[in-house]
Amino acid sequence: MKKYAVLLFLFSTFFISQKSTAQNSTEHHIAPSPWQYWSDANEIVITTLATGIVNATISKSDGTEIITLALTSTLPAVYRFEGVPTQRSRNAINTVYNDRGIIVTSTAEIAVNVRNIASDDANTGTDDQGNFIKGNASLVSFGNAGKGTSFRLGYYRTNFAGVSGNAPVYSAMAIENNTQVFLNNVLLRTLNAGQSYLFTAPIGAHLTSDKLIVANAGAYSDAPGGCADGIVTQVIPTQALGKNYIIVRGNGTPGTLTNYPEQSTIIATQPNTVIEISNYTPQGIFINTTTQTIVNAGGSYTFHHGDAQNLYSSSYVEAEKPIIIYSGSADLCEVDMSTVIPIGDCTGSNEIFTRKFTAYNGNDLDAFGYIIVASATEPVLFNGANLETLTASPRTPIGNSGYFILQFTNAQVGNPDNYHLVSNAIMTVSIVQ
């Protein structure tokens, strides 16, 4: 099972990825996942870079307080929700809920990562249709940067074979009362603060609102190659999108099937968007470049990122206009999805702190990760030690893009409880379990 994390943050598989300090906020609104959060198959990891003790309060979106936790810059707060998974059926589409989202507030800026840790344990009642919580997955809150009034909805692939209900699931949660939410300019629902609504929609659909909302994309269950997993990621608002992206291939089962897990879907936000995709081997050797033009806003293009075969191969995406990319990453057939964070334009982080991955039974889970930097020499410190020394693996250039990739596994870095990365170079970090 895998988990993928990118620290902005960004799989079964767990995927956590973090890219920018914008993910650090004193208030996090998190829309519902396809499954309910209120069982012990979900946990929340809260970290901070602030000095001193920080208090963070976790509440349901209807204002019901669950718990207040204390944390520091060296000691994250980890809370496992209460409840029996088999008594928490999945969230239904076309239904208004008052309490299915999460709100986290704090006395200083924090990062919030919500993890599905069901791990296909028999006690969670998982099934391939996702009637309850399924597999593993990870959602990193974008904090204030995740709030918006315009979103382009999508999924990492456009062939939905193996996806429960043959369709992805989206959710929107209001932050203020009397928020009108529209889908392709048609009123979807009017929601009050903390209320949420799950629905299906075509790839590239335009979700808009007259007041700030947050939105998620996912699936009850996705089986791209025989393993079924729950999928979830927060959707990046249109105003936070960019033009340049790097996608690194995970450890998904090689192949070119239409439902293959290691693929990405690009969605244009403006008409006549020209996109250039350059692919590289794990050693950073150039393979080829393709150019695509997406004619309509909301139009999409799906491709197998990297070399379609090997871990750490990559794709460098350059667009003339802002785009959003939904990317699948996997460990063999265990898959999750992320919205890829743009690179450049001062995005990224100089310091990242997160927690190891654990299974439903409490056992530690293996993970691999990578860091993207725009420096050939600036050290990256992992828990105080030079990462390249720890792994005995030097950074690799991604062709002539100006970016470099550093790699690691949890075993190479000593199986620590916490992951603390620091560099004078701006980093984009992804960790896949």
Q: Under a CB-based contact definition with an 8 Å cutoff, are residues 198 and 177 in contact?
A: no
- Tell me which of 62-66, 101-105, 162-166, 323-327 is least confident: 162-166
pLDDT tens digits along 176-206: 999 999 999 999 999 999 999 999 999 999 9
Q: Which two tokens stand for residue 240?
A: 């936070």
Question: How deeply is 386 buried, as exposed, middle or buried, from its count of CB atoms within 10 A (0-12, 13-18, 19+)?
Answer: exposed
Round to whole Å and give the CA distance between 429 and 414: 18
75: Cβ contacts below 8 Å, ≥ 6 apart: none
pLDDT tens digits along 369-414: 999 999 999 999 999 999 999 999 999 999 999 999 999 999 999 9
Task: Tell me what pLDDT residue 23 has.
Answer: 84
pLDDT(367) > 50: yes
Q: Which two tokens stand for residue 79?
A: 């809370």
Mean pLDDT of 243-270: 90
Task: Tell me what pLDDT residue 346 has.
Answer: 64
Task: Tell me what pLDDT residue 226 has.
Answer: 74
Q: Under a CB-based contact definition with an 8 Å cutoff, are residues 133 and 40 in contact?
A: no
Round to whole Å and give the CA distance between 196 and 31: 7
Q: Name the residue among 215, 248, 219 with its Cα closest to residue 231.
A: 219
The verdict on whether omega for the bond into residue 404 sits within 30 degrees of 0, i.e. cis, is no
Q: Name the residue among 416, 405, 397 with its Cα closest to residue 355.
A: 416
Task: Tell me what pLDDT residue 122 has.
Answer: 75
pLDDT(5) > 60: no
Q: Under a CB-based contact definition with an 8 Å cutoff, are residues 279 and 313 in contact?
A: yes
Residues paired with residue 419 on neighbouring β-strands, in sequence order = 354
Mean pLDDT of 17-46: 87
pLDDT tens digits along 87-109: 999 999 999 999 999 999 999 99
Model confidence at 345, pLDDT cuts 50, 70, 90, reads low
Model confidence at 252, pLDDT cuts 50, 70, 90, reads confident
Question: How deeply is 332 buried, as exposed, middle or buried, from its count of CB atoms within 10 A (0-12, 13-18, 19+)?
Answer: middle
Mean pLDDT of 230-239: 96
> What is the torsional sign of CA 63, 68, 70, 75?
negative
Model confidence at 22, pLDDT cuts 50, 70, 90, reads low
Model confidence at 303, pLDDT cuts 50, 70, 90, reads very high
Q: Name the residue among 44, 39, 33 with its Cα closest to residue 173.
A: 33
Mean pLDDT of 104-132: 89
Q: Which two tokens stand for residue 375?
A: 């420096």
Q: Which two tokens stand for residue 199?
A: 């629905």
pLDDT(15) > 70: no
pLDDT(4) > 50: no
Mean pLDDT of 131-155: 95
pLDDT(139) > 50: yes
Q: Which two tokens stand for residue 29?
A: 């609104």
How many alpha carbons fall within 13 Å on the CB side of residue 371?
A: 32
Task: Tell me what pLDDT residue 390 has.
Answer: 96
Q: Under a CB-based contact definition with an 8 Å cutoff, are residues 230 and 219 in contact?
A: yes
Of 15 and 133, the one with more pLDDT? 133
CA separation, residue 385 to residues 159, 263, 419, 422 (Å): 44, 34, 12, 10
Question: How deeply is 83 buried, as exposed, middle or buried, from its count of CB atoms within 10 A (0-12, 13-18, 19+)?
Answer: middle
Q: Under a CB-based contact definition with an 8 Å cutoff, are residues 295 and 272 in contact?
A: yes
User: How many CB atoms neighbour CB 377 within 10 A?
Assistant: 8
**φ, ψ at 309 (rounded to 5°):** -135, -40
Q: Which two tokens stand for residue 23?
A: 């993910």
Three-state DSSP state, 175: coil
Model confidence at 304, pLDDT cuts 50, 70, 90, reads very high
Task: Tell me what pLDDT residue 88 has.
Answer: 94
Task: Tell me what pLDDT residue 254 has.
Answer: 82
pLDDT(154) > 50: yes
Round to whole Å and give the CA distance between 244 and 397: 17
